[in-house]
Structure 1
Amino acid sequence: MDFTMQVALIMLPVFFLLLFMGVPISISIGISSALSAMVIIEPEQMAFQGVQKMFGGINSFGMLAVPFFMLAGNIMNRGGIAKRLINLALLMGGRLPGALAMANVQGNMLFGTLSGSAMACCAAIGGTMSPIQKEKGYDKGFSTAVNIASAPTGLLIPPSGMLVLFSLISGGTSVAALFMAGWIPGLLWGIAVMLVAYYFAKRDNLPVENSPETLSQVLKIIADAVPSLFLIVIVIGGIVGGAFTATEGAAIAVVYSLILALVYKTLTRKVLIDVVMDTALMTGIILFLIAASSIMSWVMAFSQIPQMISDLLLSITDNKIILLLVINIVLLIVGVFMDATPAVLIFTPILMPICVNQFGMDPVHFGLMIIFNLGIGSITPPVGSVLFVGCAVGDVPIEKATPYLVPMFFAILVVLAMVTYIPAVSMFIPELFGLVK
């Protein structure tokens, strides 16, 4: 048995056993990687090399974009932005049956781009919309399913911290190209949920909403929302135009969101301290996770585990369509049991060589595919993280939301197939702007 197989037979069982025992995923990654590395090198050398790899994994200027985007998103979450965006969404779709459900989807798409977190988006928009929908006679299971199904769109629609993280893990894929590539898949995801929601709304005769009666009311709603949305224009425009890097754009996002919250007078000193502390805590967790994953990536690369997995998959079939289907199924299953951040850290170095080197898939296209998959996993029973948050916010058991969620799930899978097999869905806008060849 060669050392590649030995490393794999130690790393994978130990990793999944520790996860099953409830050990935090970063610790599970670190322990399984350290134990399997001892097959390759001596324990003393492993300790020295491991610390170097952990430090090297987070010693990057680009990595600063992650906490900055998180801080900007947390300020937006606590800054009273959600209600303003919901009012704008109602203005755009108030005449449709089930207008509140449509506004929920649009609110998640708008707010998700600012918060950068599917769970935060689900909690903020869902917490605002659920009481209103209940008052209007909406079925709680339906309104909860709509909120859950549309919450992960913010993982794709820029500026997305997950796209920045993929850029770093994949070895420097263009953040500007990833941001531009996320627009169409994210919008298609939201539209798919809205189409299913529209069907249920027509079937159940859900009401339309009254539109503003005067032009001044319309202009006030737009004026309240535009300053928040202008953040997207500043950050994406600056990055794509080359005015600043993703890290600098993230820092600008923090300053802009802070000024906006102060103007709205929704951010007290106590709230700001809580926001900074929460961001620091989450940053520490994510950076430690990235550091631990750096050891795993090093061990896997040194022992050629990605090449072994590639050979195994290609031994089954060399048909690109079938292999991409298998990869999608694997990622969907992984996304159910694992949050998007660790999943991207672990599976990007394993699957990217297969898709990019073997099939010639553009790294930008691959990045959108993997993040889209993991976003679906977050809303999939029985363990999806966004699923639990949405049901808690809507005060609904999972089984009551599931009948509505299943058709939305399949509609989203159709969009996933388009993203996977039609490169133009992801690549059209980046190619239009000359960001990829």
Structure 2
Amino acid sequence: MLSPPFSKRSIGLVAPCCEAQETPPPADEASQHQRTRLAQLDPHLHCSVIGTCLGSAELRKLMARFIDVVGLGELDVHHEAVRLASRHADVGRALHKAMDQRYAGALKRFATATDEEQLGAAWDEARQQGEIPGAYWALLTHRHCSPALRQRAFGEVHMLSHLVGAANRADLRRLVALERENAELAERLEREQQRRQELVDEREALAARVQQQAIELARRPIPEAAPVIDALQSQTLIGLHTQRREQAEHAAAQARAALEQAMQEMEHLRLQSRRLGRELAAAEAQLRTTGEPTPPQQLPADRRALLYVGGRPSTIPAIRALVERQGGEFLHHDGGLETRKGLLAALVQKAQWVLFPVDCIDHDSALNLKRLAERQGIPFSALRSASVASFAAALAAPDGGAEDGDDDSAAPPFCLRHA
């Protein structure tokens, strides 16, 4: 079902479904006044084009006109489409027509490009806006698209698929862990509720037995010498029942406390999950813009000079690059490990916004930073951790990174003494 491997002149490492014979298209098939056909593209591009520009359901419906797709998985249908795109004329025409119809708007926008420079600019703009499939098809089939531009677009789409796959895998692992913790807490809560109900039932049954025994004792005939004995027995029975009642109430109180603790833990995990989701979304947004031209002055004018105090040396270069990509000026002080603490006051005067991670800064630096920022009237934000994702989430927040303003996913209050 797979085609023979193609030469390595295009890409060093390719998936098996991308392998095809390296048969260059005839030079006279595509004139300068018409778009390139799918069958005229280098066969090694067919896997990327079909996989990016056509969905699984649409591709299966189209290929059912040429092959028997019953029992075939999505990967098998994809392999057959890639193999027949350059070998079967009807299949190539059908695939080309389907993508033309689906991305007619993108083809119309790219048709205005009159040279390779304009075509590359249109591709960069569409990629920044996330309109990859239609722009990819319009670019590869454009009459002004050079082999170098095709190769660049192919490489960017190829690497984007790796980034998306890695982010999805990390997100799935985090989701599975949270679901497992949630299931354990739910099971624990159910056990505590069941134990509490058992204690309540036992106490009610004990009260019923005491009442029944009292009724039976009242109905019995009492001899002349029996009053003293009955009084002693009654006192013993009452003491026993009182002890059992107190034990049952104590156990019920413990069950209520355990239940309340379990509910608090579940709420804490829910808030933690939302904070991690917000940081993941911010990190993914920054990852998508890595290497792309960023419009200047994305940060607010009153918060363009940022002072970051503390943190880990391994994350400082990435945080610096993140701020500079958004048109900001990055100032850093390590809190006194290698840089003198006396320089902190001068850096605060230069900054318009002060940020520090609560898990990677000493108490003295945090207290001093708070006093300096309040004295200068400069806003400061305490980040949940020293990770790049936490910093990116602070920059992406609508209120300038103050997580405490979000009632639904607020971070724990920051304590300058205990961090």
Fold match by TM threshold 0.5: no
The structure where helix makes up a greater share of residues is 1
TM-score, normalised with respect to structure 2? 0.26
Relative CO higher for 1 or 2, CA cutoff 8 Å, sep ≥ 6? 1
Instruction: State the structure with more CA Rg.
Output: 2
TM-score, normalised with respect to structure 1? 0.25
